[in-house]
Structure 1
């Protein structure tokens, strides 16, 4: 009995210690994710200060050629994934014909997880590499994802453009939560007021114009394409580029990038 009396407190301490260890093991992934997101958010805030959302000279020159219906080259880039692999794809097209003139597919090898709002850390280096692999010079690229339309004004389109050193803008199918923007209300307003090729501003509770909702299809119950500014590309120019590349809902060079990415994954062109 005396021995049991001595061992009982020790047993309780061991059980308590094991419980603490178990809790720590269970919480570790959540703590790691919390710390990673916090660190990435700070880095996005810093990088956003490096971005100018005005038209770069080369972009302004391209817009002038576009307005004059002169041939010009734009690119589209996208990250395409299946369950096991991913590729970054860049496609260059000529406007106004929308003829494909070049393309590049780059395998993605990263251990970083997918985190909504922080996709650039995972995707931007490979999107930039795909842009750099094009054999033609491009003055601007449309990126699958958001640019300025982001909680910290630094979505994947900004991240990719900054890494690549190429002016970029964002095009996306859905909105991130930012500044009280109500996507359902925007969709309703767009369907009620927009004609084909028109866009309406996306204004937050603060009064900031975060981006634009573009009508790119004729269907009455269409979903808008969300366009946003990026490094060296103003919102007005981003909308003009998206309209100029309009063939389906997704701007043509981005659509082609996604199609070719799916083909590359299916046919195991890259591993």
Structure 2
């Protein structure tokens, strides 16, 4: 899991590394130094095209970025180098922006941010144009996962195996389908959030990869059927049962409240009727 293979945009390949408690970013290049003005202009133009900003890539900064790397974060004082890190945060490279931003974020904030991002399931259907093959692969697997979640819950709840018919008009089954699907999506987002929090202890973007694997592992565990229950149920299954019962309870309370308000309104109306008529 070499960061240089993951941090790539256009013809530029970056790598992040740690030295003396500081996290650096560096352009990977064959010569490891700028030899000519022509070479400098070449990389400066690539930085402008791929990361945006016409004036922020001055010669000294580009030279340092290619030779030794520029510092982004100091773990000794838990502080980000604003002058250098802002150049990568305010860029068109969204993933790099996230990596640099997360350097000084707590694992709780990383988890919260990841949960919000994972719940935006519509993002998998956007941003295909101009995306890399890896990005498109990620989005396509995301769409497949969402589709399988909906299909699994639909066949398990709305499809009647005895009659071979779909029962979309059954209100109770539609409610269960909606609740079960919501629990699955929240459980998946929660697992990835916990995984991202664990991955935040590693240097980006390796931490992101570690977090994704950890999140998938957590999701697999909470969906594992426990054999000593009858019938065998997973943590997610139990959560679905509780969620459905809660929805029924809330609906019952709401119904009774509406009836009570309606009766009270009628009672007041009858009394006013006697007063005025």
Q: TM-score range by the shorter chain?
A: under 0.3
Give the structure with the higher percent helix. Answer: 2
TM (norm. structure 1) is: 0.24
**Higher-strand-fraction structure:** 1
Q: Higher RCO, 1 or 2 (CA under 8 Å, sep at least 6)?
A: 1
TM-score (norm 2): 0.23
